[in-house]
Amino acid sequence: MSGTSGDTEGVRLAKRVAALAGCSRREAELLIENGAVRVDGAPALLPQSRVLAHQQVEIEAGARPEPVVPVTLLLHKPAGMPTDGAHQLLLAANHHEPERAGLRFLPAHARAQRCMTPLEAGASGLVVYTQEWRIERKLQEDAGILEHEVMVDVAGPVGPEQLARFERSPARVSIGRQADDRTGLRFAIKGPRPGQIAHLCDQAGLRILAMRRIRIGRVPLAGLLPGQWRYLSPHERF
């Protein structure tokens, strides 16, 4: 009876890989997490998944059981979503399609990610998640001097008098576009605090319709649609 149950349920993939490669269970888990294992020709990325005796398990030639390299992910947080809940968007399906073709997403890339640049729930735009201690330290130490570029749509037209009210503020503000019913303002501000831009607009008598962060330091949103994410490239620097 127990044998029949075992045949039906299979064994943990990590156990099968360890036996196949002649390595420890932990080394087998690392091989799987690095995307080096396929089951019946399909990538298998979860060490705890189960495989049946008849299923074919293959290990990529030359693969080494090394820890997954830490990564930094850039997400376009949609408006109306708290930053705390935006982590759930870090899925393979939401990976920016042009980048997806050349880079392999691993489930470990989405684990233990720390959000370094939260946004108000009502705002959209660039949010940084990282596993890399150098990036985390950079964003913490330079938080007060990194410039954020934020596009803010406000109701109605904005005249020179209202624009002049921002001259003594910590932000550089300019008009990006203007229509009868709304004006698009560009804010460039170093180390903004949550709610600071909304407070500045309120002081100027402006009602915010939408807010979107498009740049942090030298790193841009770069064409991400709401809900999409991409990797921070090796050449990019905040």
Which pLDDT score is estimated for 9?
Answer: 81
For residue 220, what pLDDT band results from cuts at 50, 70 and 90?
Answer: very high
Which pLDDT score is estimated for 147?
Answer: 97
For 33-72, how does the pLDDT look when each residue is reduced to its tens digit (9 = 90+)? 888 888 998 888 888 899 998 999 998 888 888 888 899 9
Q: Supply the mean pLDDT for the chain.
A: 90
Question: Is the pTM for the entire model greater than 0.85?
Answer: no
Please, what are the domains in the chain?
2-59 (3.10.290.10), 72-231 (3.30.2350.10)
For 178-188, how does the pLDDT look when each residue is reduced to its tens digit (9 = 90+)? 888 999 999 99
For 135-160, how does the pLDDT look when each residue is reduced to its tens digit (9 = 90+)? 999 999 999 999 999 999 999 999 88
For residue 232, what pLDDT band results from cuts at 50, 70 and 90?
Answer: very high
Long-range own/partner contacts, residues 215-223 (CB < 8 A, 24 or more apart): 215/126, 215/147, 215/148, 215/149, 216/117, 216/126, 216/128, 216/146, 216/147, 216/148, 217/142, 217/146, 217/147, 219/74, 219/126, 219/128, 220/126, 221/74, 221/76, 221/125, 221/126, 222/74, 223/96
Which pLDDT score is estimated for 102?
Answer: 66
Give the percent of the chain with pLDDT over 70: 96
Which pLDDT score is estimated for 1?
Answer: 42
Which pLDDT score is estimated for 183?
Answer: 96
Which pLDDT score is estimated for 2?
Answer: 46
For residue 4, what pLDDT band results from cuts at 50, 70 and 90?
Answer: low
110: number of Cβ within 10 Å: 19
